[in-house]
Amino acid sequence: MRILIAPDKFKGSLTAAEAAAAMAEGALRVYPEASVLQLPVADGGEGTLEAAVAAGYEERLNAVVGPILAPIGAAWALRMDAFGGATAVIETAQASGLARMEPAPENALRAHSYGSGQLIAAALDAGATEIILGVGGSAMTDAGSGALRALGLKPLDANGNVVPLGGGSLADVVAVDVRGLDPRLSAVTLRIAVDVQNPLYGSDGAAHVFGPQKGADEDAVERLDAGLRNWASVLRQSTGRDVNVPGAGAAGGFPASFLAFSNAALESGFQLVAGLTGLADKLRGADLVITGEGSLDEQSLTGKAPVALADAAHALGIPVIMVAGRILVTPEDLERRGVVAAAQLVDTAPSPEEAQAKAAKYLAWTTSQVLEGA
């Protein structure tokens, strides 16, 4: 039997690679002679870098400015191709992630993506001809303006001064100075992985939907949304491009600035990462797929990695086992996706707290139990 084990992260407990190792341990208890392939997956957000490194990309580390100016180290990855080109993989969460900042109204207004722009510059310096940007887990709501500032753009106020970093200052921008913008942006292939369809601004936009997760109170949300709306207007005046499109609201609107000033394209996060890791070829060789994530909920059904993987396996007639920290969707939801059996750690651990604290132990155990019963 050939088993493909391809989970996403169990947020707060296990990385995707750690989850895959625990699942493999459980699977081999039941099928000791099986050929088991571990392949961490992601949907374009946090975990994308890990999936790339697991697929053979070289991990690199750069010192950058964090989301509220503190210097930090941020990882990214690079792989050279046989034709002299190179592909870089960058996560905004590494340089500009919410984990780097205490959520609070003042921080939500100050947070910026400058460090992510520094990583893009590092990738360009390393010879990247293609850059894949995973944009989950962000701290900022600055529409990617900070990242472009790291690449030479200057947002100006009515007095011709450069405005402070952060989404809270975008409402003051009246023009942009593009004379120093890195010309390599127009030549590189920029692919942005998104797993949401939110526009840049408005009631479904970045500030209103995701701002509160970053500490924004009602006043901060309104201020951030006004800034995003004004920034979109300034970009339209400067480039003629409308950036208030579905998906532009991901990661605090990060894609918007790149949609204006580069040839960036928004892509399905799962499909993009699947291409990075060679998932399609590996899937075709499997007799069984085991996948899962920390919380399998309604949002998972909208294209998150484990369900998207189940859909792909189902299309090939490959049965899927789903193991998650908790499952908040119906058995019918999963059955339609080709899932033949599912289990959650909270049913096998003494308590949810224990399940999270010793996730690897209970993930291995739960995987073995669901396989024995399948």
pLDDT value at residue 69:
84
pLDDT value at residue 360:
97
Cα-Cα end-to-end distance for the chain: 15
pLDDT value at residue 300:
85
Residue whose C-alpha is closest to residue 288's, from 315, 313, 324: 313
pLDDT value at residue 277:
86
pLDDT value at residue 42:
87
pLDDT value at residue 270:
87
Tell me how far apart the alpha carbons of residues 55 and 57 are, in angstroms, rounded to a whole number: 6
Question: Which residues 6+ apart lie within 8 Å of 182 measured at CB?
Answer: 121, 124, 151, 152
State the CB neighbour count (10 A cutoff) for residue 86.
17
pLDDT value at residue 203:
97
Domains, the chain, with CATH or none? 2-42+278-373 (3.40.50.10350), 56-270 (3.90.1510.10)
Question: With b meaning 16 or more CB within 10 Å and e meaning fewer, what string describes 348-362?
Answer: bbeeeeebbeebbbb
Q: Give 10-residue mean pLDDT values along the chain (374 residues).
A: 95 93 97 95 86 92 95 96 90 94 97 98 97 94 98 98 98 98 96 92 97 97 98 97 96 97 93 88 94 92 88 96 96 95 95 94 97 86
pTM (global) more than 0.75: yes
Residue whose C-alpha is closest to residue 12's, from 365, 362, 356: 356
Strand partners, 78: 58, 88
Phi then psi for residue 193, to 5 deg, are -85, 120
Instruction: Give 42-109 as a DSSP string.
Output: -SSSTTHHHHHHHTTPEEEEEEEE-TTS-EEEEEEEEEE-TTS-EEEEEEHHHHHBGGGS---HHHHH
